């Protein structure tokens, strides 16, 4: 790849979700393949300053606004800042992550005559249908409109998994695929604390993440393994509902609910097993990170999770919503430390596929192919 290829990325430093993290991890690897990533963003919250600092150390040029913007003001600022950055930094192409960003920044790019790569991290139509309580009527209208516009403005659409790329065909989109990158070095440094009986799940507390299934499974596990403890890390509208469910099942003392922390790698260190019981999951960042930490993963048999978790090798798959099957898989791992160790070793090997430099090479091919089309 020709050195000096400049690609513009954008983000809000105030609202960093899974799509933004996937983008950040990709940027960590791009300088190694001759791509110069430029990130246009608002100042990060204190908890994410270390991430932005690491991006700068890896060769990512950060262009930060003087202050943070909320809601509509952010998108207005982003549109005009993107126009200015495309011209000022002589950007070759723009890479969008996120539904609203693909519409707003995609429009700016097309007005400036630049091509757009849009990585699709999820289908908002499907997510609204599965978790309607998480979206107000105005937000639904905005997301639907941005979804259609983002796909229209993109020159190349990339699914974050093979499943996501295939799924996009229902919208008449012929998509390529590239798995998300993870911060492999960070998670691979996690220590192995084999004696732990803690089961961890990192996911938003929303219906689409299937956490009711995990709470019910926890009650089943507790009957056979009173020492088992469950750690649910996230945030969302169903937190109190999940706590109430745990109380009704008599396992409130077995489950801790924590807000998401950037130090999740340290929490993985103290866990034996990771669980992702999603009803829908385009990729499964939390599963890939747990594999990098050497933890066997028990995941539902949906979406991109089937491309990450190899049943019986680095973890187990179970039918979505089947809490009894999930409990059986957890118990099998808790009862067999040697099995956990073998699967943990296989997990680290699997996770190497998602190293930033490996995913960056794939995107370098996509960028090159797009620019060659003239």
Q: Which two structure tokens, joined as six digits, stand for 103?
A: 């519409």
Asked if residue 75 has pLDDT above 90, the reply is yes
Q: Where are the domains of the chain?
A: 5-181+355-372, 184-354
CA atoms of 315 and 29, how far apart (whole Å)? 27
Q: What residue has token string 């998480």?
A: 134
Q: What is the pLDDT of residue 195?
A: 61
pLDDT digits (tens, 9 = 90+) for 192-214: 665 689 999 999 999 999 999 99
5-181+355-372: CATH number: 3.40.50.2000
Q: What is the pLDDT of residue 169?
A: 96
Asked if residue 14 has pLDDT above 80, the reply is no
Q: What is the pLDDT of residue 264?
A: 85
Q: What is the pLDDT of residue 2?
A: 46
Q: How far is CA 160 from CA 191, 213, 218, 281, 319, in A?
A: 29, 25, 30, 10, 22
Q: Is the pTM of this model over 0.85?
A: yes
pLDDT digits (tens, 9 = 90+) for 161-182: 999 999 999 999 999 999 999 9
**Domain 184-354 sits in which CATH superfamily?**
Glycogen Phosphorylase B; (3.40.50.2000)
Q: What is the pLDDT of residue 374?
A: 66
Q: What is the pLDDT of residue 12?
A: 73
Q: How far is CA 1 from CA 24, 270, 296, 353, 356, in A?
A: 20, 41, 36, 21, 16
pLDDT digits (tens, 9 = 90+) for 114-133: 999 999 999 999 999 998 98
CA atoms of 372 and 370, how far apart (whole Å)? 5
Higher pLDDT, 219 or 196: 219
Higher pLDDT, 259 or 300: 300
Q: What is the pLDDT of residue 18?
A: 80
CA atoms of 18 and 162, how far apart (whole Å)? 18
Question: Average model confidence (pLDDT) for the chain?
Answer: 93
Q: What is the pLDDT of residue 192?
A: 65
Q: What is the pLDDT of residue 70?
A: 76
Q: What is the pLDDT of residue 1?
A: 41
Asked if residue 16 has pLDDT above 80, the reply is no
Q: What residue has token string 């299937």?
A: 210
Asked if residue 4 has pLDDT above 90, the reply is no
Asked if residue 217 has pLDDT above 90, the reply is yes
Asked if residue 11 has pLDDT above 90, the reply is no
Lowest mean pLDDT among 68-82, 147-161, 281-295: 68-82
């Amino acid at each position: 790849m020709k050195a000096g290829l400049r690609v513009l990325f954008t983000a809000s430093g105030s609202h960093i979700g899974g799509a933004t993290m996937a983008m950040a991890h990709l940027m960590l690897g791009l300088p190694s393949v001759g791509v110069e990533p430029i990130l246009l963003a608002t100042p990060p919250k204190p908890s994410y300053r270390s991430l932005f600092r690491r991006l700068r150390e890896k060769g990512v040029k950060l262009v930060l606004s003087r202050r943070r913007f909320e809601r509509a003001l952010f998108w207005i600022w982003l549109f005009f800042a993107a126009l200015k950055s495309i011209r000022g930094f002589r950007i070759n192409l723009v890479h969008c992550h996120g539904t609203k960003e693909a519409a707003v920044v995609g429009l700016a790019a097309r007005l400036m005559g630049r091509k757009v790569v849009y990585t699709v991290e999820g289908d908002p139509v499907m997510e609204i249908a599965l978790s309607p309580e998480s979206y107000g009527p105005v937000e639904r209208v905005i997301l639907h409109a941005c979804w259609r516009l983002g796909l229209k403005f993109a020159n190349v659409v990339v699914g974050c998994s093979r499943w996501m790329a295939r799924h996009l065909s229902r919208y008449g989109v012929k998509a390529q695929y590239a798995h998300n990158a993870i911060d492999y070095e960070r998670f691979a440094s996690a220590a192995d604390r084999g004696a732990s009986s803690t089961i961890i799940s990192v996911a938003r507390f929303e219906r689409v993440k299937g956490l009711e299934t995990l709470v019910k499974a926890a009650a089943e596990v507790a009957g056979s393994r009173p020492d088992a403890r469950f750690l649910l890390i996230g945030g969302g509208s169903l937190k109190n509902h999940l706590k109430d469910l745990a109380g009704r099942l008599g396992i409130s003392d077995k489950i801790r609910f924590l807000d998401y922390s950037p130090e999740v790698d340290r929490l993985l260190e103290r866990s034996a097993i990771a669980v992702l019981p999603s009803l829908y999951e385009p990729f499964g960042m939390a599963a890939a990170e747990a594999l990098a930490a050497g933890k066997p993963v028990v995941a539902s048999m949906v979406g991109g999770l089937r491309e990450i978790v190899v049943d019986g090798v680095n973890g187990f798959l179970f039918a979505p919503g089947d809490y009894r099957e999930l409990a059986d898989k957890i118990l099998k791992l808790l009862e067999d430390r040697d099995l956990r160790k073998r699967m943990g070793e296989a997990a680290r090997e699997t996770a190497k596929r998602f190293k930033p430099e490996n995913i960056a090479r794939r995107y370098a091919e996509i960028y090159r192919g797009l620019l060659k089309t003239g």
